[in-house]
Structure 1
Amino acid sequence: MSVALRKEVISAYRNVLKTQRRVFDSDAKARGMMMNKTREEFRANRNVKEDRQIQYYLLQAREADEFLSKHVVQAVRQGNGNFRMNMRPETDATIEWPEETDAPTSAKRSFDGPSTCCKDQ
């Protein structure tokens, strides 16, 4: 592994750990579990020699870091039983709703009032 690539790996590792600390700031248990998993993953791939494979793992680390930053939000239970979300400036709070699908006309129902069997009752 080249020196430059090694620096990238160390930088990616540190960035993921920093993001985990920031995202799971109020949840020590989740933070510890995530940090342990990150250490395990980086250690498991420590002996990879091929630059192409290392680049692949670097991409995975960057994507995981971005996902945690933008899409993971911790919620804290309030005294009244409700939860408060700890939103951060980088959190993507956009909610995308799926577009309505066009159901076939045979599946669409209309209501024309009660059927004839119930009118006598």
Structure 2
Amino acid sequence: MAELTTGALILVVGAVFTLLGLLVFPFLCIGVPLLVVGLILVVVEGGETRKPPVYGYPAYFPYPTLPPGTPIPPPGQAPAAGPATPGQPPIPAGAKFCTNCGAALALGLSFCPNCGARIAT
């Protein structure tokens, strides 16, 4: 079967409704406007048929690469922590921090002085 344009399809449906409308009046009210719209679309489309879209190959993205000279740690081993920045003092071993805002806490506090969150003891 030959492919029909949208305008040609509407034109055919309009012709069917118009012929049916000669017998039953309400179909004539549907058929004549469809004939007019179909005729306009056939002229505007200029005979272009709908073609199925052409799909290209799926896009495959390359794997992310590390900058040259970056050592790759063996599996199951956590990477070593980098050196502390020179402007920060080292963190003492027994220091506590607020779980809500991250502020440093003194020993013996029940609430964070920065955000007021309850401190788990």
Flag whether TM exceeds 0.5 (same fold): no
**Higher RCO (C-alpha 8 Å, min separation 6):** 1
**Normalising to structure 1: TM-score of the pair?**
0.25
The alignment's TM-score, normalised by the length of structure 2, stands at: 0.25
Higher helix share: 1
Q: Which has the larger radius of gyration?
A: 2
